[in-house]
């Protein structure tokens, strides 16, 4: 099939920019209601985006009540509501392997898959925010190696549960009174280092067989998990060279274990700040930044693991201080993306803030400039598409769909109709 961009819209609170809640037209707490999510789903579905991707957080520490929590609602519940007002849009829920149990999560995601007619996906993450641990008991956050060891086993158990029903199990013969062929439903009988799960699952396969797996790790352990299990890899990349190297690495790892590299799609995050002219886009960015105060600076400090007072706007990042932080427990992907951008292009902190959209590639400009950047990365094998990190929701999503997608279609890079009825068929996964 013709290679085209995969585009998913990411829902992080009410927008990726820290000032989104102040800039949006709707009331401050309207995002807690069903109409907010239904409107996003309808917009993405009508635009033929591949999926709506909901982030998740399990603590309030990162946002500190200064703006809406980036994952306040349960993604699976919100996506189940969106399923009822959409027809072909994929529905991707983030859920942690650190603070869930495989059987319960496998059942919840499979339920969404059935309710949506085969459009569900699970974004596999390990929890790296220390504050979360206290919400689940007295034990501290596990070390990264332990988190990924648990994640590897967790994913294997979930997939075994999803595969515990053979398609041949479904009989449904009312006249003969045969509902299910019991011999085609088998327990998983898993006994591992972290989990003991008998199975089988309570649900048969969905129309797409099983939900699509997304994964967002950037460390060596995260990349290994992605190459072995993921259909789609979400990554934070700020430079073309960094994105090319990451995609090539994931594809080579997949090839080395016998997977078709083309079956693993790599999607960097992209934050577009749009204007009718470049000057208008810069003015929009400046207005948002003014409303946010020093929130983006503090977020950058958190992402690279240094005190905020160590960042001087008109000087480079303090690379020595960043490297010296051996106790860093945050996201390796976000830290690496910011550091590579600063090093490779010799940028000041102020310039990094302008380019680094919350850890992702940020393009401030016209729809044509955004489309050109997307085409350049796609043509040069840096990605298979993008996860769209919208600055302000819901209006920013509508603007992107109305202003950028037509240019991508003119370039032959994005579809006008869905490829199928399930998320897996639409991704060609």
Taking each helix axis from N to C end, the angle separating 220-229 and 240-256, rounded to the nearest 10 degrees, works out to 60
- pLDDT grade for 389, boundaries at 50, 70 and 90: very high
Q: What is the pLDDT of residues 153-183, one digit of tens each?
A: 999 999 999 999 999 999 999 999 999 999 9
CA dist 238 to 172, 190, 235, 398, Å? Answer: 52, 41, 10, 24
Gap between the Cα atoms of 413 and 378, Å rounded: 9
Query: 296 lies in a domain?
Result: no
Print the domain residue range for 68.
6-272+362-427
Which residues are bridge partners to 178 per DSSP? 173
Q: What is the mean pLDDT of residues 138-148?
A: 93
Gap between the Cα atoms of 275 and 282, Å rounded: 8
The 3-class secondary structure across 193-221, one letter per residue, is: CCCEECCCCCCCCECCECCEEEECCCCHH
Query: 243 lies in a domain?
Result: yes
The residue whose two tokens read 């400046």 is 286
The residue whose two tokens read 């083309």 is 262
Percentage of residues in the chain having pLDDT higher than 90: 76
Q: What is the CATH number of the domain that holds 389?
A: 3.20.20.30
Query: 278 lies in a domain?
Result: no
Gap between the Cα atoms of 275 and 66, Å rounded: 27
Query: 289 lies in a domain?
Result: no
Q: What is the mean pLDDT of residues 126-142?
A: 92
Query: 81 lies in a domain?
Result: yes
Q: What is the mean pLDDT of residues 30-39?
A: 95
- pLDDT grade for 336, boundaries at 50, 70 and 90: confident
pLDDT of residue 205: 95
pLDDT of residue 345: 81
CA dist 428 to 1, 111, 260, 409, Å? Answer: 9, 22, 12, 19
The residue whose two tokens read 């799960």 is 197
Query: 333 lies in a domain?
Result: no
Q: What is the pLDDT of residues 62-100, one digit of tens each?
A: 777 888 887 789 999 999 999 999 999 999 999 999 999
DSSP 8-state class, residue 31: G
pLDDT of residue 222: 92
Q: How many CB atoms lie within 10 A of CB 155?
A: 20
- pLDDT grade for 412, boundaries at 50, 70 and 90: very high
Percentage of residues in the chain having pLDDT higher than 70: 99
- If DSSP codes are grouped into helix, strand and coil, which group holds residue 288? helix
Alpha helices in 257-294 (DSSP H): 278-292
Query: 313 lies in a domain?
Result: no
Which residues are bridge partners to 268 per DSSP? 235
The residue whose two tokens read 């000057």 is 279
Query: 384 lies in a domain?
Result: yes
pLDDT of residue 429: 67
The residue whose two tokens read 């961009």 is 5
* In contact, 45 and 322? CB cutoff 8 Å: no
Domain count for the chain: 1
Element holding 354 (H helix, E strand):
helix 349-355
Q: How far apart are the first and last CA of the chain?
A: 12
Residue 61 makes CB contacts below 8 A (sequence gap 6+) with 129, 131
The residue whose two tokens read 């902190």 is 349
């Amino acid at each position: 099939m013709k290679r085209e961009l995969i585009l998913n819209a990411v829902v992080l609170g009410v927008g990726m920019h820290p000032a989104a809640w102040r800039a949006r037209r709707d009331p401050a707490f309207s995002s807690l209601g069903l109409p907010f999510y239904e409107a996003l789903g309808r917009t993405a579905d009508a635009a033929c985006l591949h999926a709506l991707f909901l982030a998740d957080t399990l603590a309030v520490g990162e946002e500190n009540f200064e703006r809406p929590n980036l994952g306040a609602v349960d993604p699976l519940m919100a996506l189940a509501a969106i399923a009822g007002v959409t027809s072909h849009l994929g529905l991707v829920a983030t859920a942690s392997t650190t603070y869930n149990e495989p059987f319960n999560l496998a059942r919840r995601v499979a339920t969404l898959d059935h309710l949506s007619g085969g459009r569900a996906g699970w974004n596999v993450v390990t929890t790296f925010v220390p504050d979360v641990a206290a919400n689940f008991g007295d034990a501290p956050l596990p070390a990264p190696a332990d988190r990924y060891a648990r994640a590897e086993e967790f994913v294997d158990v979930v997939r075994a549960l999803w595969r515990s029903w053979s398609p041949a199990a479904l009989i449904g013969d009312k006249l003969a009174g045969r509902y299910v062929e019991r011999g085609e439903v088998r327990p998983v009988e898993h006994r591992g280092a972290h989990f003991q799960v008998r199975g089988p699952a309570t649900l048969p396969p969905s129309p797409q067989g099983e939900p699509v797996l997304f994964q967002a790790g950037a460390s060596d352990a995260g990349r290994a998990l992605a190459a072995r299990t993921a259909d789609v890899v979400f990554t934070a990349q700020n430079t073309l060279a960094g994105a090319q190297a990451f995609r090539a690495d994931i594809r080579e790892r997949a090839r080395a274990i016998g997977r078709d590299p083309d079956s693993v799609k790599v999607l960097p995050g992209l934050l577009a700040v749009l204007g009718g002219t470049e000057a208008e886009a810069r003015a929009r960015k400046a207005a948002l930044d003014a409303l946010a105060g020093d929130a983006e600076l503090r977020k950058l400090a958190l992402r690279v693991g240094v005190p905020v007072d160590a960042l001087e706007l008109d000087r480079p990042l303090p690379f020595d201080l960043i490297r010296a932080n051996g106790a860093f427990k945050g996201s390796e992907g976000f830290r690496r993306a910011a550091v590579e951008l600063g090093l490779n292009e010799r940028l000041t902190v102020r310039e990094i803030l302008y380019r680094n959209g919350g850890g992702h590639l940020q393009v401030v400009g016209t729809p044509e400039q955004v489309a050109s950047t997307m085409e350049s990365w796609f043509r040069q094998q840096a990605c298979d598409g993008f996860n769209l990190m919208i600055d302000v929701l819901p209006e920013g999503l509508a603007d992107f769909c109305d202003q950028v997608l037509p240019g991508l279609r003119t370039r032959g890079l994005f579809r006008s109709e869905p490829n199928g009825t399930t998320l897996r068929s639409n991704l060609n996964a």
